[in-house]
Chain A
Amino acid sequence: MTDALLHKIGGEGPDILLIHGFGADRLSWLALAPKLFQFGTIWAIEYGAHGAAGNDVGDGSLTDLATAIEAKVKKELKSPIIVGHSLGGTLALLLISRGFVVSSGLVLLAPAGFGKTLDISFIRELPEVVDGAAAHELLKQLVVRKNLITKRMADAFVETLENTQRRTALQAIANTLKKATPPPLPPDIPNIILWGDSDEVLSPPLNPPTEVKLLSNVGHLPHVEAVEDVVKAIQTIIDIKSD
């Protein structure tokens, strides 16, 4: 069985599910999650090869990752609002489009493959890094304010790759993504898409199929560099649901 872990982070009320991006985990939501406790029960999923989840990623495909998430989420959460970052946004779209999860609203942060390829150099290169200095340079692509990515973070990431099963599993996901087809945006679910206008990892789409709100002077991590904008987007989705 492909691995995934569901973590209850805090708060009470309607379910809000956070799905991290490639190479991240539940702790990457630390700047955002406490600000969401006012809105509901905050959950974070970790899919295979990430965080505390195991390293079984099946064939590394979006479908296998989404199936593992479904197994953890479907019985536990009731019509969650889903906040997905990068690959997590892509997985959110797949979960919904295939009917794996019923969602009441979507906030997507620079969703990978949105309107174009999933062949992203950052995803290809990240599982290949072997030392902290190289990882530091690569991870700094994620942000505009480069000092937000510390050497300590890079060293911690490289340490996780010392587990060869973890490295192999991340490589499997990266290799499979190169050939994957991005899922469509569900037509009937309220959604907001946020994108940093200075995203070096994944540029905002030039001709998006729906409105994309660009965040000024923000890179690939809006939930780190523009926390209040993300909170406002989630609040807006909640308000739409309530109307």
Chain B
Amino acid sequence: MATNILVPQLGNEVTEAEITEWLASVGDNVKSGEVIVVISTTKTALEIESPIDGVLSEILANEGELTEAGATIGVIE
């Protein structure tokens, strides 16, 4: 079953984040809790962990892209 990787809600004041670095590539096996992507606001960086064990099947936002809080940026199957 596919599980989306989401940009977390960043509070009322921050609505978007930049994809700083993908630490996994499409096709990689990832573990639950493993940091797979780093995002950043204008103030700080946040590490996003894989929610499940699986394979990173899609990257929907590339490094350098701005994404909205709550957006799906990747898929794990």
Binding site for B on A (CB under 8 A): 9, 24-25, 27-31, 34, 147-150, 152-153, 156, 224, 227
Q: Once the chains bind, are A30 and B47 in contact (CB under 8 Å)?
A: no
In the bound complex, what is the Cα–Cα distance between A156 and B8 (angstroms)?
21
Asked if B3 lies at the interface with its beta carbon under 8 angstroms from chain A, I say no
Q: Once the chains bind, are A152 and B18 in contact (CB under 8 Å)?
A: yes
Specify the main secondary structure of chain A where it touches its partner: helix
Q: A156 and B20 in contact (CB under 8 A), knowing A30-B10, A30-B14, A147-B38? A: no
* A-chain residues with CB within 8 Å of residue B43 when the two chains form the complex: 24-25, 27-28, 30, 153, 156
State how many residues of chain B have any CB contact under 8 Å with chain A.
Answer: 17
B1 CB → nearest A CB, Å:
26
Q: Once the chains bind, are B47 and A227 in contact (CB under 8 Å)?
A: yes
* B-chain residues with CB within 8 Å of residue A34 when the two chains form the complex: 8
A46 CB → nearest B CB, Å:
12
In the bound complex, what is the Cα–Cα distance between A30 and B12 (angstroms)?
12
Q: Once the chains bind, are A152 and B38 in contact (CB under 8 Å)?
A: no
In the bound complex, what is the Cα–Cα distance between A85 and B43 (angstroms)?
15
Q: Which residue of A lies closest to B43 (CB)?
A: A27
A-B contact pairs, 29 of them (CB 8 A): A9-B11, A24-B43, A25-B43, A27-B13, A27-B14, A27-B42, A27-B43, A27-B44, A28-B43, A28-B44, A30-B10, A30-B44, A31-B45, A31-B47, A147-B21, A147-B38, A148-B20, A148-B40, A148-B45, A150-B18, A150-B40, A152-B18, A152-B40, A153-B40, A153-B41, A153-B42, A153-B43, A153-B44, A156-B42
Q: Once the chains bind, are B14 and A150 in contact (CB under 8 Å)?
A: no
Q: Once the chains bind, are B42 and A148 in contact (CB under 8 Å)?
A: no
Q: Once the chains bind, are A152 and B42 in contact (CB under 8 Å)?
A: yes
* A-chain residues with CB within 8 Å of residue B61 when the two chains form the complex: none
* A-chain residues with CB within 8 Å of residue B14 when the two chains form the complex: 27, 30
B19 CB → nearest A CB, Å:
10
10 new A-B contacts, CB < 8 A, other than A27-B42, A30-B14, A149-B45, are: A25-B43, A28-B43, A29-B44, A30-B10, A30-B11, A30-B44, A31-B45, A150-B18, A153-B42, A156-B42
* A-chain residues with CB within 8 Å of residue B47 when the two chains form the complex: 31, 227
* A-chain residues with CB within 8 Å of residue B18 when the two chains form the complex: 150, 152
The interface bits of chain B over 33-77 (1 if a CB of A lies within 8 angstroms of the residue's CB, else 0) are 000001011111111000000000000000000000000000000
